[in-house]
Amino acid sequence: MKHLFTVLLLALTTTAFSQAADADVTARHTTIYEWNNEAEEYLETDKFWLTSLFEIREDFLAVKIEGSEEWSIMWWAFNNFDEENDFYIYYTEKENKVILTGSDIYMFDKYNDSTNRYQKVVFFNKTSVSSPH
């Protein structure tokens, strides 16, 4: 339940694959990282098996976490395609960052102006991708 709350909270506060193509993604594993000032890197703080459903669309990302009955909608805008690393960057209406790779999803939360970094990264992987129905 703790994991469900953490992921839902991030989904609610974080609000498409030239853009990225519309896609439906099922992620089965989640890893949470937090920025550590002393180590000057993101350190893994938790990892767990939890199925998360994502509907990737041009203007929004819909998220439904295992155990939840409702979808959370995060409105976003396309920012950039990083050709060198082959991923798409979006910013949500709450100014959080979302990175989409070929199949994985990274959600960055809690930007810290003093460190110029997001404090938390949630990584969704072990995915399957399909076209929208």
Closest by CA to 8, choosing from 87, 109, 114, is 109
Question: What is the per-residue pLDDT for 16?
Answer: 35
- Each residue's pLDDT tens digit, 82-109: 999 999 999 999 999 999 998 899 999 9
Is the per-residue pLDDT at 5 higher than 90?
A: no
- The pLDDT-based confidence of 131 (bands split at 50, 70, 90) is confident
Q: Taking the complete model, does pTM exceed 0.85, yes or no?
A: no
Is the per-residue pLDDT at 50 higher than 70?
A: yes
Are the CB atoms for 34 and 92 separated by under 8 Å?
Answer: no
Question: What is the per-residue pLDDT for 127?
Answer: 94
State the amino acid at position 10 in one-letter form: L
- The pLDDT-based confidence of 13 (bands split at 50, 70, 90) is very low
Read off the DSSP letter of residue 18. Answer: -
Separation of alpha carbons 21 and 24, rounded Å: 10
Are the CB atoms for 4 and 69 separated by under 8 Å?
Answer: no
Higher pLDDT, 109 or 4: 109
Lowest mean pLDDT among 8-22, 52-66, 98-112: 8-22
